[in-house]
Structure 1
Amino acid sequence: MSYFLRGAGALAVTPPGRDLRIDALRGLALLIIFINHMPGNVVSAAMPHNFGFSDAADIFVLLAGVSATLAYGSVLDRRGLAIGALRIGGRIWTLYIAHIAVFVIVCGVVARAVTRTQNPLYIEAINIQPFFNDTLSALVDALTLTYQPHYLDILPLYIVLLAAFPLIYRAVRISPALTLLASVLVWQVAVFFHLNLPNTGAAGWFFNPFAWQLVFTIGVVIGRGLQLGVAVPRSALITAAAIGFLVFSALVKVSTGNPFGLAFLNDWIDSLQLGSDKTNLAWVRVLHLAALAWLFIRLVPRDSAMVQGRVGRSLAVMGRHSLEVFCAGIVLAIIGQIILAETYFALGVQLLVCVGGVTILVGLGNFLSWYQSIALHGSAGKPAPALPASVPRS
């Protein structure tokens, strides 16, 4: 409790060993995001967003906050704001270049598809009409992050959140509770006054940074707790409430009507089944994510077989190279959408595209780890040392 009130800001921080749970969960989120970015495929029906109010995007942004704290928090503590800002600025530049590169590649992929198939609907599906209607203006808007086609809105969010990280981290060091309260206030003020950043051809950023900073801040609070070795309180009441809320959300999402038979809940249940507000971060998304985070931290220890086994290690390898795998996943998902549409969503093709994409992404993660070991040690036989976790988005 003292951590949430005072933040233990004066304590010296010794960076903990790498937590494979973070890498494995991030790797899993990458695969889910890849599948979800190909709407209409049969595998997406089994993805978590069909059984709860939050999805992989919420988990990814939460982990972004955790990872930013573990990667840069100790740098800010030991070497000050100037050096920390330089490190963070370098990462932001990398994210920015990656975003622009993916933007150009996706435009090229869609242009090629339209040329080959004579189907202009692919341009509308990805929302890159501005690029073809007024290329120069669209490029300028893309460079200033004020134009974001569909599926290319996660890295801009992370860039903005990472730029705000030093301020959020300093506040968390003083008082996590007050920081969370301020974050909630910013979120609700943005929702009430419809505050968002501009996005060409849309009402604003799909991931409103003024709202999604709350998820990132929760991640920073969790990351700071990991830094300090804060033990999670054993509360049967909170655990039962978390389980109850997850069961409630699953019942609502899988039911075709009101599963509780209470007439006064009909309109609310209908709105939840249609989908919770993702742009401005509906309350139920936050509560669902908080319940998932609590149960994961309480029930999955650092040395859990879930993350130490073969599948967990494969996911962790992907998670350690999240930016590269994420960017590749975006491009593969766009290609997958085109293939599925051209084959009329044949079941076999759906399964082949999903399995093939997952295989490529897992293979990419393993290749990058092998290459990293070669670059650092000059020999594939020597393992690479643990590096600070770093997440892109969304």
Structure 2
Amino acid sequence: MAIIVRMVEIPNEFHEALPILQKIESAGYEAYFVGGSVRDTILKRPIHDVDIATSAYPSEVKALFKRTVDTGIEHGTVMILDHGTGYEVTTFRTESGYQDYRRPDHVTFVRSLKEDLKRRDFTINALALAENGQITDLFGGLSDMRKHIIRAVGDPNERFNEDALRMMRATRFASQLDFQIEDATLAGIARHSQLLEKIAVERSHTEFVKMMLGTDANNGLKIMIQTDLYQHVPVLSHYLNQLQQIAETDFTLTNEVQIWALLAFKFGLNSQETASFLKKWKTANKIINDVILTVELLFAIQRGQVANLTLYRAGSENVVNAVTVLADTAKTAGLVERYEHLAIKNKHQLKMTGGELIKRGILKPSPQLGEVLNYLEQNVVAGKIKNETEELVKAAVNFLNED
């Protein structure tokens, strides 16, 4: 049974898009805000994307506005650029045939809001908000929100066979919203967990990162273990014991580097193994490099042997990453301050260059220049040489004479 309630206040993000809804409605069609933005409004969370659904077909939408882009015309999505910000407007549709377990083989445009909402993943996302503030709830999403429950729309087995990524999305929502997954939906995930292997790793990567950054991330990990999802993403199946230990701790992470650093550290991976692990997850090279440096620092902290050079190599952000991951003030006390008091933070702050060494006749252009500068950099960081030009010249000469 449809439940229609009136919202007290429409957020600014929706107010800015109201002219689009109003123009579509003035032409005799229905138009609503739908999906995550409606859910997050009700939960008083920040809104990211404002999505609009309409009974108007794509050609009818395009006829109403001067500037449009066919961002997903085959699925009924048109981006409207008339009001500065781009808003995606999607025609009500039904879907069928999901041979790749991700995208429908056939899309049929319809005029019915109910038919459109029936194809949504979870009840908390199957809500439509009208311009007057009324919410249409056909599947008990508002009740599930009050109970902090994630429930599939209709038969969870059908929903997960349509799009296997929905299983990771459910886990991510459980973490982000601090909700529990309803029993039948949870059982559906466990039953179909192997279908996650049909999904591109990049898609699972995005959901996993969002899950690990959630307010209840250990709950998300527990669900992945309970439902066997962890067995169908890269590498994690080899480290069940470590995953269970992580899931039993409360951790709060703030960026992607910290996520992978926590896992690589708990898994006991060296730099080469960490790089291999993250490449299987299709992780960006910059993230991989930062994770390796963070993990090196974490192992040094664990050994109680944190040299200035280790802090220097890690860099400011990764020192903070390591402190956050370890979450042990006794072991990390003073590390950030130690980093801040290093004589230099990068090689460009060294008061000596290869050009200066050549100019003073100490060296000619050669590979040895790099060796000398590296020696000076390391010893300045270690506090053995002052970062002053004349001191560095003397140290360079001494190094060459010893060599």
User: Do they fold alike, i.e. is TM over 0.5?
Assistant: no
Relative contact order: is structure 1 or structure 2 higher (C-alpha 8 Å, sep ≥ 6)? 1
Q: What's the TM-score once normalised by structure 2's chain length?
A: 0.20
Of the two, which has the highest radius of gyration? 2
